[in-house]
Structure formats: structure tokens, C-alpha cells
Amino acid sequence: MTLWRVIMMSAVLLVIVNIQQAQAARSADDYVVISYHDVVDSTVTPDLDIYSQTITRGRLIEHFNLIALGGYQPVSLQQIIDAKAGGQPLPEKAVLLTFDDGYRSFYDIVFPLLKLYDFPAVQAVVGSWLDVPAGGRVPYGKITLPRERFLSWEQVKTLDESPLVEIASHTYNLHYGAVGNPMGNEQAAAVTSIWNAGNGYESEADYIERIRNDMARTQQQFQEKIGKSPRVMVWPYGAYSEATLNIASEYGMKYTFSLLGEPNQLNDPMRSINRYLIDQETTLETIEEILSNRVWDNDDLRIVHVDLDYVFDPDPIQQEQNLDRLIERISRYGVSTVYLQAYADPDGDGVADELYFPNRHLPVRADLFNRVAWQLKKRANVKVYAWMPVLSFDLGDGYQYVTDVRTGNESPDHYRRLSPYVIENRNTIREIYQDLGRLTKFDGLLFHDDAFFTDFEDASPAALDAYERASLPRDINAIRNDENLMATWARFKGEHLTDFTLELEKAANYYRQPDNKVFTTARNLYAVTVMEPRSKRWFAQDMQNFASAYDFVAVMAMPYMEGAENPNQWLRSLARRSLEQVSADQLVFELQAQDWHTQTPIPSAEIAQWVRILREEGIKNIGYYPDDFHQNHPDINVMRPVFSIGRRFRAIQ
């Protein structure tokens, strides 16, 4: 360290003396990226308006000193690219600094500090903002800012000529909130099919064209202004999708940054690089936790199943009151996750007759899912799963459904299910899932319990063709009379269903906005397949197959539905048998809050006791269905002491 840097560090107020320097929980080939925005020098411009994510020059110097004194090594994007390609390895505790929005303060305040500390950084500029002429106003959310608050192209060119600075695109004109539904919720323009009261939703083709035009304009502008195309896209609000990643890559921007707060591994794809968002209120302790990968997070999952049929009301005023009541309840509960029903099932038969989002194939009962999911995410701060059928969509009599070999017809004892062996059915369901991902905002998928075949299904002609291609007899009765063939048949059907759900996951995720949360999946599993091994062939479900395919195996731990004589003992046995096959981290136990045999609510105290039992047995992730927020059932005051995780945390290792 040079003398001038020692002098500089000693001259500033260091509050890091109280930070305990623990051994960093970092791996050899990882790097942490942190995201800054505007920087102000309050001693020079004390009256300057300060906006979200703005920090002071003094605070930035404290951060830089923490980085230097803590042994963290700022690196350039090029160093990461070279190390990934097998060149010079990254230094230990590598850090990449990024600055968004193209503020003038980067040139006036940050750039001199970068040179002083010899720290590389990435600066992302919004093209349309820089195109505003001198003396004009830049659109900034619901207000405008003077053009002089932002870099000039001359300054950008100077920065680009420095080996310390990488100039990135922050899009040409996608840094704004677009109206994303009829209720007026504003959502990130890059990942939102815009709603217009006169025309409805922007079509898929128009949306793609808008994103392509923006990427092309960005590329052209960079070529004109600084003589080269950008190779980096920094997504506004961290909002991107698989579709936008593909389009950006087509225009040369194959490295992009999100705002998913996690370290990056060198062997990770650089299509979407994780970053931590920093602001003035981010303490030095938090900065050190981020840099050392000792960020605190919730321990276990607590999940509430919310049925949108409880929220829906033909009276829009009453419906909004229902939504407010739900949000307030979930906010108070201290839960982590909501499984939110995306389909309408007012008759309770488990089959989707209508959907709660716009789509190409089924009627829309109300365009409600996006509104409720967005409010739950932003106001209640929970992760929202779209709870969707896999096969049980009632599309009328023009489609082929799962049939029973005994009758040649659909079974009246089970859900009506589209046969997944029919290519037209598969395409239709994929399109429904793709529409879900394009027109709503959510964080994960819960696959409904309709993805099963009994040991008499599927007997449709397309299914028989599939069995024959898999070297199985077309005669189901012949299969049933041979134990080995039965085992092969059950395994084939189970894997076929799982493979199809993975196709649906991909379809739903193509346009979906990650929104700073990792996309995760769960699938409902019948408890009997755990308790009675032979039952795997009765439903074509296998717990270990589920564990290999999904992030979570959602066991339907519903003792009254299963006719358990001793519900408490039954739950203990189910927990123990489940943990013998799947780790606690991957298991979700879904309790019942309603006794459907008697059509009566289960007492809140009994549900709370079940939660205690499951926790005693080592089950970490627990949910229940349904939540009746109208009647406060289960009673939040009874449940919260055992169910809430609001005050229970762990350190990520």
C-alpha cells in the first residue's frame, strides 16, 4: 500500500473499527458484485435533492476503506472474463464495483476516488437520458431531473478510455415503470407486456419488437458516440427474463447484471451476474457481511396457501377490500411464502375452468393473479408461487383426456385431466404457462396434485402409442398381470409426467421476471406414496424422482383427508419416513386447515399442535391450506407463536 493511500485512509472518519473481522466465508473462485447509484458531496452541494439509493461521498470513502483494509480485491470485468477462460486466477475475496444510471457524480466524485484507490468499476448509462439536450429535463420516475445531473457523452468517452472503467448499457429507454395490469400497477418496462385501457395488453410480438428496438438503438448509439458496441447490459431495477437475455446477447451484450443478492461463482454463466444493492442506509457491518458472504437470511419456510376464489368478488370495491385484508394478514403473520392459486375453481373440484390471468385458451374469471401476486411481493415481502394445474384444465369436449382402461372413459372419481401423451394438449398447456410467465409476476411454481396416473390410466390411444414406443405392451391388462412390467410402466408414467412439468417450468420462466429472487419449483406429492411403497404404482409418483426434479417436494400431510385414526402419530410417522428419503431442506409439509369430509374448519389449536410436532420431528418447511382470511382461520394469534419465522434467522454459509 502506497504512502498516499495510508494518508488518505487516516484522514477520513473510519467507523469500521467496531467491525469484527471474521474469516471470510468465501470460496476460491467466487466474486461479489455491489451496485451503487448517485453519489453526493454534502459539503459542496448541501441543498441538492437526494433520491433513492443515493449515498454521500464520505460514506463511499468508508466503503472503499473497508474494502482495502479488509483484504478485499476490486477487480475489473475483464479480469473475471479472463479468469473464467483459464487465464490469471481471480485474487482472493474478489469484488466488482458497479454504478448505475450514468450520474454526473461518477465523473466528478467517483472517478477521482477510483484512480486514488486504483479500483476498477463498471458504469451503466441510460441512452435516452444522455440524449436529452443541455438545459433539458430527464424523466426520472414521476419527476424530471436537470440534464446536468447526468454524464455528457464527452465525459463517457473519457471514462471509457480509462483502463479503470467499463461503460455498460442500462438500456436505451427501458428505465421506467410501465403499467402492467388494468389496476395500474407499474412494473419494470423491460419485462412487462404493457397494459393500455384502449388496446389491452401489448401482444407478444409487439413486446419482443419493443425490446429488440431498444437493444438495437443502444448498440447504434454506442457506436456513434464512443466508437464501439457495449458488451454489458445492466438491467434497470434488476429486471430481466430469459427472453431479454437472449435478445441482449443477439446485440452483443452477452454479459448482464441483475440485482439478485448472492455471490457469483467463476464457473457460473455470466448471462446474469448477481449484485447486492447498496444505499446510504447500508451499514458498514452489512457491507462487511456482504463482502465476506455472511449475509443473514430466513431460516425455514412458512407457507400459506391462498385461494384467489376467496379474494375475487364481482364488486371491484369489495374485491379491493378483500385484497387489503389479505395483504395485512400476510404482513402480520411473519411467513416467507405464499402459494397463490392462479386458476379459478369455485366448485372446488380441483379442475381449472377459468384462469385468473390473460391467456390464449381458457376464459379469464378476473385479471387478478398479477395484481395480488405483485401486492404480496411488494407490500408483504413474501415469495409468491403460482399454484397451477399440470393436466386438469377443462377445455371442453374437443380435447383428449386421461381415460381408464376398465371403462374406456374418464374416471368420475378423479380430476378431469388432459392426456399429456397428446401433442396438441401439451402445446396448449405450455402456452398457458408461457402466458402466465409473460403477463404476471411471481417467484416460483407449485405444481398441483393433479399430475398422477392410477394403475388403470392412461388408456387413451396416444398413451398406448407411447407405451409401445417405450417397448411396453399396448395391452394395459397384460401389463397389470406382470409385476416387472407394472414396475416399468409406473416408472415410465412417473418420469413422463415429471419431464412434462420441466417443460412447463421452462415455458413459464421464459418471459418471467426473476425480481431479485431465484426461481424455484415445488410439486405436490400424495402422502400415501410415502406411507405405502406399493402405492407409487397407484399414482405414478415417486418421492425421490420428485427430489431430483424440483427444489421442493410438497408432501400433502393431511391426516383427516387420509382417514388417519391418530393424526398426531400419523404425522410423526410421515415425517420420519419422508426424512429417510429426502433432506429436510427439500421437504415441504402441507397441512390441512379444513376437514373436507365434514366441511368444517379444523381448530387452530390443533393445527398449531401439528406444526409443533413436525418441528420436533425435524421438518423445517411447513405450510397449510386453505387460509380463510375472511374468518381469520386459522387464528393468527394462535398460529403465529409456532408458525411465524419473522424473528428467526440463520447465517448463510
Please report the pLDDT score of residue 523 as a whole number. Answer: 98
Please report the pLDDT score of residue 484 as a whole number. Answer: 95
Q: What are the residues whose beta carbons fall under 8 Å from the beta carbon of 176, sequence distance 6 or more? A: 139, 141, 189, 236
Please state the φ and ψ torsions of residue 439, each to the nearest 5 degrees: -110, 5
**How far apart, in whole angstroms, are the C-alpha atoms of residue 81 and residue 298?**
33
What one-character DSSP code corresponds to residue 22? P
**How far apart, in whole angstroms, are the C-alpha atoms of residue 634 and residue 607?**
8
**How far apart, in whole angstroms, are the C-alpha atoms of residue 310 and residue 646?**
25
Please report the pLDDT score of residue 297 as a whole number. Answer: 61
* Angle, CA of 64, 69 and 72, to the nearest 5°: 75
Please report the pLDDT score of residue 14 as a whole number. Answer: 40
Please report the pLDDT score of residue 306 as a whole number. Answer: 96
Q: Are 383 and 336 in contact (CB under 8 A)?
A: yes
pTM for the model stands at 0.92
Q: Report CA Rg, the chain.
A: 27
- Please state, in angstroms and as integers, the Cα–Cα distance from residue 32 to each residue in 266, 288, 464, following that order: 11, 11, 53
pLDDT along the chain (653 residues), means of 10: 40 38 67 97 84 89 96 97 96 97 97 98 98 95 93 98 98 96 92 93 96 98 97 96 97 96 94 94 92 78 96 95 96 95 90 96 96 95 97 94 95 95 97 98 97 95 96 95 95 97 98 89 96 90 96 97 95 97 97 95 97 97 96 96 69 38
What one-character DSSP code corresponds to residue 631? T
